[in-house]
Every structure is written in structure tokens, then in C-alpha cells.
Amino acid sequence: MRFSMTTESLLKPLQAVHGVVERRQTLPILSNVLVVAKEGVLSLTGTDMEVELIARTHVDDMEDGEITVPARKFVDICRALPSEGEVKFNVDGERVELKCGKSRFNLTSIAASDFPSTDSPADATRLKLSSAQLKRLIELTQFAMAQQDVRYYLNGMLFEIEGSRLRTVATDGHRLALAECELSEPVEGGDRQLILPRKGVVELGKMLGSSDEEIELVLGQNAVGLDTESMSFSSKLIDGRFPDYRRVIPIRGDTDKEIRADREALRQSLQRAAILSNEKYRAVRLCLESGALSIVASNPEQEQAEDQIEVDYEGESLEIGFNVSYLIDALTAVPGEIARVFLTDASSSCLIVPEEGEGCEYVVMPMRL
């Protein structure tokens, strides 16, 4: 097996798949990337047994074959080489030789037959939408996923299909993000819910482009898959039941305080106040009055920050505490120039939505100050 191509052409698919490979693996083969040369197409595969990515590129100069090489070293070598240089990849017995100009590297390898294969999603239904639509749903909600929570079903994102509507929901128990879009046609197989693990969500988001090109998401009982011309993605699902998120979303009609504010001005005001917030709890106090919102933060060193902005609000005054990072994350994700914030009292969650279009909703739980 051998092939020859420019460093830049090799590095692009290699970087696409190496993020799936974990640094520390119990199985040595999982630290490797599978390299397959066949009929003018070079395929690179990375997996951690949960998520698998395959990147493909056309190569003119090659001889068919397959081998696995250490992923991190392969990437680091290619990054260090000149982008316009020509990389010559050659398999010699159990070793792989890389040449570029006057640089030469010898890597150990493991037989391709030892590389784990991933089964296709079983009992699959197919969901069609544009790449941009799916990328938008992920970008609007992925920041709210939990990280290493004992409630394992929160360490991922809920994909919910209702008729011709696709909804993504993420929560870590302290905040919640929801986004939805209308599909061109109802999904066969009826309504369903599935939870994609955090790593699968991140890698799927990287893979998707912002074009209106139609893609087909394959939804199985145990896995999700997506194929494009240059990439293939598959991920196992989290076997668990996502909490009833509708119960924690405030009903707008039940909230008696609505604020309209310049989204970016409010976000920057929160960032300024956050500088002197408690590093551990990140708490800020929002003091709401007619026409104005004051944001106050303090820390154990007795330092204090106060920032005030003008808002569109007429009503009773209110003081309420929040984790400032959660508010900033939500306002960063909200599309549009104006954000609407719905509040009830100091012990109730706040709801943040864009002014135009339903599209997405963000819920942040209050903090006791």
C-alpha cells in the first residue's frame, strides 16, 4: 500500500477524524486511525467505539491497501510539514514510512483487521432536512448539555420528532436550551425521542456545513448515522429517558414581567459585572426597575461591580440572582438584535427568547443570594 499527495490535502480529512480518537485508550487499536486506499479514494476512520467518523478524499497516485497508524503522531507530523509539500505514505511490513522533502518518519502500525467495525443503525427511519437547519439547531442548544453528570441522560442532546417538526433540547439541570425547525415532510415511523451523546453532538456539528444542501439523517433504535460525499458519521445513542422539559419552561402568559433589551448591550453589561463575581458560584444580582436594569456582582474580597443599562420595561421592581455565565451563554445564542426576558418573581426561572420568530427558547434557574 502506498499513496502520495500534498500535506494540505491529507491534513484536512485527517483533522476531521482525529478529534474522535481519545488520548487515553484501554485498547491500543483505538488510538489509531484506519487508513484505506481503494480505487482512487483514500478513507480515514477514527472511532472510540461510541462515535465513528470517516473522511474521504480522491488521490491520483496510490496503490490499494489498508493499515492503521497512531492518530496523534500522524496529525502532529502532518501539521509540522510544509502545507505545499508532497507527503509519500508507504507501508513496509509492520511499519509505515512518511516522506516529505528531506523529512522522513517511521511509525509503528497495527493490522487493519483489528480495527473495530461499526454496525449500521438498526430499524432505521430517515429524516431529510438541510445541512444548515441541523447545524443551526445544534449551535443554538449544545452549550446547555451537561458534562459528566451522574444523570447520564443529560450528557447529551435530545432530538425530538413531532409530526413534521424537529426539536433539539439540552439541559444540565440549571438551565435549558430548546430550538426547533419545520421539516418539508413528516418523518415516517411517527413521533419519537432519542438522545445523542455529547461527543456525537460536537462531532456532528463540526461535520455539517451552512449550505442548503439536503442531508439524510438515519435514525436507528440504537444509533444515528449521516453520510455525505466526503464524510460519514455514526454514533450510538444514550439509553435513557430524557426528563419532561416542558414542565420547566415558563408559560409566557403566566409571567407578569417582560423585559425587552438590546441583546448585545445586555450581554456586554453582564460580562463587565462578571469580572468581580465570585469565581466559584458566578452569582450576579439583577435589580429591575421601570426603564432600567442594574447588574450587581461581588466577591469574597469585598469587591463589587455595578452596571446599568436601559431596558423596555414598565412594572414593579424586582431583585433576582442568577449564574452570570448561564445568562451570557443564552444571550450569545439568541438570534437577532432584541432579546425578550420573562420573569415572575425571585424564586422562579427566567425565560429568554428572540424578539422575532419562535425558533428557540432558553430557561435559566435563579440562585439564592
Q: What is the pLDDT of residues 123-173, one digit of tens each?
A: 788 899 999 999 999 999 999 999 999 999 999 999 999 989 999 999 999
In three-state secondary structure terms, 314 is coil
CATH of domain 2-114: 3.10.150.10
| Same fold: 2-114 with 250-364 | yes
Please tell me whether residue 347 adopts helix, strand or coil conformation: coil
pLDDT of residue 356: 82
Nearest CA among 151, 185, 189, 183 for reference residue 170: 151
Report the Cα 290 to chain-centroid distance in Å: 38
Q: Do 315 and 257 form a contact (C-beta atoms < 8 A)?
A: yes
CATH superfamily to which 250-364 belongs: DNA Polymerase III, subunit A, domain 2 (3.10.150.10)
User: Residue 66: pLDDT band by 50, 70, 90 thresholds?
Assistant: very high
Q: Which three cell numbers stand for residue 245?
A: 422539559
Residues 290, 343: Cα–Cα separation, whole Å = 14
125-246: CATH topology is DNA Polymerase III; Chain A, domain 2 (3.10.150)
Instruction: State the cell numbers at 89.
Output: 505514505
pLDDT for 210 equals: 83
Amino acid letter for position 213 = E
Q: What would the pLDDT profile of 311-333 be if each residue is shown by its tens digit?
A: 999 999 999 999 999 999 999 99
How much is the pTM?
A: 0.92
Mean pLDDT of 173-191: 91
Domain ranges of the chain: 2-114, 125-246, 250-364
